[in-house]
Structure 1
Amino acid sequence: MMTPTQIELARHALGLDGRRRQSYRNYFVTGEGCHEHTEWMAMVSAGYAWRRAGTPLTGGSDLFRLTRAGAKLAIERGESLDLKDFPTVPS
């Protein structure tokens, strides 16, 4: 289960602000040393997100994306996910 802080971060990553009823993105950029980074790393460990190490494009900070399972924990009744932000990864 996600903590309230993790749900808030996940909702931000999805672009759900209480007015939108469907997600329109799926990313969050943060660097080591920030409290958000610790929360995202916990979500990665729980299988709710994945991490791509920082690059020049992200200013050296890590890029996090929610898994579909993690995103489903963050949405509220009446909201939906735009599935284009959750591509199927070939096995």
Structure 2
Amino acid sequence: MTPEQRDLARHALGLDGRRKRSYRNHFVTGPGASDHAAWMAMRDAGLAWRRKGSNLLTSGYDLFGLTLQGARAALEPGETLCSEDFPKQN
């Protein structure tokens, strides 16, 4: 995971350096946006998933989220993942 991807992953999880536990797992972006290629690369590496844009839910933009592997790679020491977003954290 590149530093840019890690920053995007932390944002998707709601981790800002003050919180010690994630509270979400989503990021909305679309082709042509500066962060879309980084999310596609994370998806291709198995660190994220993608749902193609929906006009109803995301105004046509893609919805990304992290896999457990990707989320764990974004954590700082002492941080944890929300069990609602990642119920199988073995």
TM value normalised by structure 2:
0.93
5+ residue gaps, structure 1, are none
User: Residue 70 of structure 2 corresponds to which residue in structure 1?
Assistant: 70
Aligned residues: 87
Structure 1 residues 62 and 16: CA distance shift in structure 2, 3 A? same
- Aligned pairs for 1:1-91 (under 5 A) are 2-56=1-55, 57-87=57-87
**After TM superposition, what 4+ stretches of structure 1 lie above 4 angstroms from structure 2?**
none
Unaligned runs of 5+ in 2: none
AA of the residue aligned to 1:11: R
**Distance of 1:81 and 1:45 partners within structure 2:** 22
Q: What percentage of residue pairs aligned between the two structures are identical? A: 63
Residue type of the alignment partner of 2:20: R
Give me the CA root mean square deviation.
Answer: 0.9
